[in-house]
Amino acid sequence: MTAIAPDRSELWWETAHLHGQLGNLKTAIATLEGFLAEDDSVGDRGQLEELLRHLRSRVN
């Protein structure tokens, strides 16, 4: 879905969340970091950054 609608932040959040649940923490983190780096005008940026912080805390 992210290939079809790459500007939809909720799809990136869901993709990262699923990777995190599956234990693919580095992939989940890279997914969010890549999306946030590409688009500075993300409306749900706070929600994405919150998930990113949570995933990073699970890696440590």
pLDDT given at position 6:
76
pTM of the model: 0.85
**Residue 2 resides in a domain:** no
Find the domain containing 54 and state its range. Answer: 9-59
Q: What share of the chain is helix, strand, coil (3-state, %, to 5)?
A: 70, 0, 30
**Residue 37 resides in a domain:** yes
20-35 mean pLDDT: 94
**Residue 4 resides in a domain:** no
Token match 């699970």: residue? 58
- Are the C-beta atoms of 55 and 28 separated by less than 8 Å? yes
Q: Look at residue 39 and tell me whether its pLDDT is greater than 80.
A: no
Q: Look at residue 1 and tell me whether its pLDDT is greater than 70.
A: no
